Structure 1
Amino acid sequence: MTTTPQKLYALGQSLWYDNIERRLLENGELAAMIARGDIYGVTSNPSIFNNAIGKSRDYDGQLAELARAGHTTAEIYDALTVADIQAACDLFRSLYDSTRGGDGYVSIEVHPDLAADTQATAAEAQRLWALVDRPNLMVKIPATQAGIAAIQSSIAHGININITLIFSRQRYAQVIEAYIAGLEERIANNLPIAQIASVASFFVSRIDSKVDAWLDALAEQGGENAARAQALKGKVAVANAKLAYQLFKESFATPRFAAIAQKGGRVQRPLWASTSTKNPAYPDLLYVDTLVGKDTVNTVPPATLEAVKDHGATQLSIEAELAEAQAQLDELAALGLSLDKATDEVEHEGVAAFSKAIADLFTTIEQRAVEFR
């Protein structure tokens, strides 16, 4: 029987798993998920590792050994996370090989505290690439203004990059340009490009969380705009993503990219992230069923994956109702609300949340290291 994830894969969308835990690696569950065709890659971030390490004792054996050997907190963090990423890369290696690098990637994020420093971010990407030492690794770089130049540099160095925390189409256009320019830099230096892969992680639900609060406030004021504001709730994030997909199609259908593709260059797939539903009033697969498209990835947390397997839609949807999507964004502006302001705010909040998660995890590691020494 063909499962929903397999049907989505046949349509051109790969489901990746937005989760990693030592337990899943050791008990065979991640391997089983891959074998069943439930997932085609894994993404991680500081919040996921904070949950995995901070809220379990699964890492205590390795942590104790490292602590007693006198390693620093940063070294212990590297060792714990890199071990998980390497193990996951190895489990996905056969998928990576059989799809010729189409899927089977595992992502690890650069330290979020470097998000405002181009050179430090680029150096950290190179360090992690060498440390993990797997061809199906993707290093995650946030799409901050400083991150854009680091993306081009990293692609030029031959590193697979997952660009994260993309919220606006304007920033997404910069991300695409950085990827293409990085490939062109390699071509100019007579370096191969066929093995380089990249995804652009466009965050979805957080946009609605931000904008819906503004719409609620507007509706509470009453008057002629109240009903218009209510009607727009839960619509802006999907509309923004649908129009981003159009930008993807246009950007990779140019003569400029055709010349790159002739030399083996791959399109940089959009990856829909933050696709769990934050508002319980909305359908649980609001940010999955509406964004099924060719050459895309959707990274889903555990509960969302189970929902997809149980009742996920299996038809292309991302190019449906495009005129309506544009009209919804026009309506937002007509109500005096700025999508640019929303995307700027959630970008800063996203970096801050990851920084807090890694700081919390470092505190946990320090406390446990003291226990074990």
Structure 2
Amino acid sequence: MTDNPLKTLTAAGQAIWLDYLHQDILKTGELQRLIADDGLTGLTSNPSIFEKAIGDGASYDARIAKLASGGKTQTKDLYEAIAIADIQGACDQFRPTWDRLKGRDGYASLEVSPDLANDTQGTVEEARRLWAAVDRPNLMIKVPGTKAGTPAIRQLIGEGINVNVTLLFALQAYLDVAEAHTAGLEDFKAAGGNVAKVHGVASFFVSRIDTAIDKKIDEKLKTADDATAARLKAVRGRVAIANAKVAYQRYLQTLATPRWKTLAVAGAAPQRLLWASTGTKDPAYSDVLYIETLIGPDTVNTMPPKTLDAFRDHGKVAPTLTQDPAAAEATLKEADALGLDLDGVTAALVDDGVRLFAKAFDDLLKAVDDKRRRLGDKTAA
């Protein structure tokens, strides 16, 4: 029998997180099975995930009815009570992993409201509140890597709060949040804090870049001459991977600086790069494309259940993330030369990501409110 590819992935230095949360996986032992059998070491949630979990079916109805009858009548209070309890449950199930790895992994992530993506102080205040409410050392608070989110990241890390930076697409945005994380650790250390206890990840969204760039390529192919068409086809499906590989090279360069080495001596752990949005969108591509091409040490890949299952079934593990970084740089230069405007695409993807998460959050609150009203009507009847 061959080894489980997911376990082999862990042996290669890449952590596996699940991009999914539902109370059922906490209650049925499914999450424990994934931890034991697949080497899962973390979990992420977001408004879209909670909207699907709570809105679909009747799984959460009893909890909503109980919370509402107990005085939780405001929709956001109801949602937060459910989300906090589920995240606490996930943190508790990952706690043995966190203990075994001495805090280097074993985290569950909870997102601040997407409505605060452009509000620095609002983000800081909500992150503090959620951190205190969940009250687990292996929690990460998800903060978007927007211009307003970046100073919030420094503030929160500087207070000893673990941060999962989300919605990263552009290299410069990554460098900005990496700087915020480092500066936050320095602030925490200067205030007498133990930097070994503060952890973070920087979540690069991968497949969405290819979706947007490939759309531009397909448009250009309609009018391109043969030579240009060949060049366009050569970069199709490669830009997001190249972007991630270049980001990893920047990460390695950061670790080599005297500034970081000073923090490392004090026990600081690096802000790991996390590959998000790794489910393949284009059916022409392998369903494990964004796993197999981005395998490298001290990184995280957060997979939706379908992708996790696919990699377990037929994934191949090799040290791909550090293979031929010069080719990755060349791919980005070629994309620029072809007028694919990666900078413009990534900027638009941030705005689109904020909008989509905000809509999912609104849909989530509506689903909770609809259920509260319907369950209230049943109780009254």
Q: Shorter-chain TM-score: which interval?
A: over 0.9
What is the aligned partner in structure 2 of residue 128 from structure 1? 130
What is the aligned partner in structure 1 of residue 211 from structure 2? 209
Partners of 1:261 and 1:254 in 2: CA distance: 11
Structure 2 portions without partners, runs of 5+: 377-381
Q: Is the 8 A contact 1:277 1:287 kept in 2?
A: yes
Helix, strand or coil: the match of 1:218?
helix
Q: Is the 8 A contact 1:67 1:372 kept in 2?
A: no
Partners of 1:270 and 1:222 in 2: CA distance: 36
Q: How does 1:246-257 map to 2 (within 5 A)?
A: 246-257=249-260
What is the aligned partner in structure 2 of residue 285 from structure 1? 288
Partners of 1:57 and 1:242 in 2: CA distance: 42
Q: How does 1:141-156 map to 2 (within 5 A)?
A: 141-156=143-158
Q: How does 1:25-36 map to 2 (within 5 A)?
A: 25-36=26-37
CA deviation after TM superposition for structure 1 residue 232, in Å:
1.5
User: Which deviates more from structure 2 when the two are superposed, residues 2-11 or residues 345-354?
Assistant: 2-11
What is the aligned partner in structure 2 of residue 193 from structure 1? 195
Structure 1 portions without partners, runs of 5+: none
Structure 1 residues 115-164: Cα deviation after superposition (integer angstroms, max 9, x where no partner): 00000001111111000000100000000000000000000111110000
CA deviation after TM superposition for structure 1 residue 214, in Å:
0.5
Q: Specify the code of the residue in structure 1 equivalent to 2:369.
A: E
CA deviation after TM superposition for structure 1 residue 56, in Å:
2.4
What is the aligned partner in structure 1 of residue 67 from structure 2? 66
Q: Is the 8 A contact 1:68 1:372 kept in 2?
A: no
Tell me which of 331, 336, 342 is aligned to 2:334: 331
Q: How does 1:154-193 map to 2 (within 5 A)?
A: 154-193=156-195
CA deviation after TM superposition for structure 1 residue 69, in Å:
3.1
CA deviation after TM superposition for structure 1 residue 7, in Å:
1.4
Helix, strand or coil: the match of 2:368?
helix
Q: Specify the code of the residue in structure 2 equivalent to 1:246.
A: Q
Q: How does 1:296-307 map to 2 (within 5 A)?
A: 296-307=299-310
CA deviation after TM superposition for structure 1 residue 37, in Å:
3.3
Structure 1 residues 36-57: Cα deviation after superposition (integer angstroms, max 9, x where no partner): 1341110111111111111121
Helix, strand or coil: the match of 1:225?
helix
CA deviation after TM superposition for structure 1 residue 104, in Å:
0.8
CA deviation after TM superposition for structure 1 residue 315, in Å:
1.6
Partners of 2:50 and 2:88 in 1: CA distance: 14
Q: Is the 8 A contact 2:20 2:304 kept in 1?
A: yes
What is the aligned partner in structure 2 of residue 267 from structure 1? 270
Helix, strand or coil: the match of 2:140?
strand
Please report the TM-score for the alignment, with normalisation by the length of structure 1.
0.98
Helix, strand or coil: the match of 2:161?
coil
Q: Specify the code of the residue in structure 2 equivalent to 1:139.
A: I
Same amino acid, percent of matched pairs: 48
- RMSD, matched Cα: 1.0
Partners of 1:91 and 1:42 in 2: CA distance: 11
Partners of 2:213 and 2:328 in 1: CA distance: 15
Q: How does 1:288-367 map to 2 (within 5 A)?
A: 288-367=291-370
CA deviation after TM superposition for structure 1 residue 225, in Å:
2.0
CA deviation after TM superposition for structure 1 residue 112, in Å:
0.4
Helix, strand or coil: the match of 2:133?
helix
What is the aligned partner in structure 2 of residue 48 from structure 1? 49
Structure 1 residues 215-255: Cα deviation after superposition (integer angstroms, max 9, x where no partner): 00000113242222222210100000000000110012111
Helix, strand or coil: the match of 2:58?
coil
Number of residue pairs matched by the alignment: 373
Partners of 2:14 and 2:271 in 1: CA distance: 13
Helix, strand or coil: the match of 1:291?
coil
Q: Is the 8 A contact 1:19 1:301 kept in 2?
A: yes
Q: Is the 8 A contact 1:219 1:227 kept in 2?
A: no
What is the aligned partner in structure 2 of residue 235 from structure 1? 238
Q: Specify the code of the residue in structure 1 equivalent to 2:18.
A: Y
Partners of 1:230 and 1:2 in 2: CA distance: 36
Partners of 1:55 and 1:370 in 2: CA distance: 16
Q: Specify the code of the residue in structure 1 equivalent to 2:108.
A: V
Kindly indicate whether residue 92 of structure 2 is the aligned counterpart of residue 90 of structure 1.
yes
Structure 1 residues 81-115: Cα deviation after superposition (integer angstroms, max 9, x where no partner): 11110001101100100010111100010000000
Partners of 1:281 and 1:189 in 2: CA distance: 52
Partners of 1:169 and 1:275 in 2: CA distance: 18
CA deviation after TM superposition for structure 1 residue 2, in Å:
3.9
Q: Specify the code of the residue in structure 1 equivalent to 2:27.
A: E
Q: Is the 8 A contact 2:10 2:39 kept in 1?
A: no
CA deviation after TM superposition for structure 1 residue 68, in Å:
2.3
